[in-house]
Amino acid sequence: VPVAKNVLAAAEKQQGLEILLPVDCLVADRVASDAQSRVVARDQIPAAWEGVDIGPETRQLFQSRIEEAGTVIWNGPLGVFEIEAFAEGTRAIAETLERATWESGVISIIGGGDTAAAVTQAGAAAKMSHVSTGGGASLECLAGRVLPGVAALATAGD
């Protein structure tokens, strides 16, 4: 959470940079394929229910922004994609980003093992610009922090 807050704060200061957050979501009474689920506004999640996917309004918002973007950085699946009932949002966004990358030249950067698995499951990983399984490291790099492995490589030649 602290890294995400820092990234959001830095993004607010950058002109032309937008971080999208969901406006609605699919919620379920439990994380299971036979769970009861419904779509609600992001601030209306019932007590004891969990957000398990993005909702249709969010899906449309994200898809329209992807189609207009120059670069998309995606870190973290949009739902519990491992369960088919909750995978629709993640799959739809992966397919949209795949199309935008190949048809419009959008630079697509996928960060994190779960996100990499999700775009692979959607059949879209091979067409993304870059896929990294280092989600935490990706966020640290975006926040402007020096990564220990990169620092070690940089000083190895000295």
**Domains of the chain (ranges plus CATH)?**
2-24+56-143 (3.40.50.1260)
Cα 157 from Cα 19, distance rounded (Å): 37
Q: Where are the alpha helices (DSSP H) in 14-112?
A: 56-68, 88-104
SS3 126: helix
Q: For residue range 25-72, list pLDDT tens digits in order.
A: 999 999 999 999 999 999 999 999 999 999 999 999 999 999 999 999
pTM: 0.81
**Does the structure show a pLDDT above 80 at 147?**
no
CA 64-69-74 angle, 5° bins: 90
Cα 51 from Cα 42, distance rounded (Å): 9
Cα 20 from Cα 18, distance rounded (Å): 6
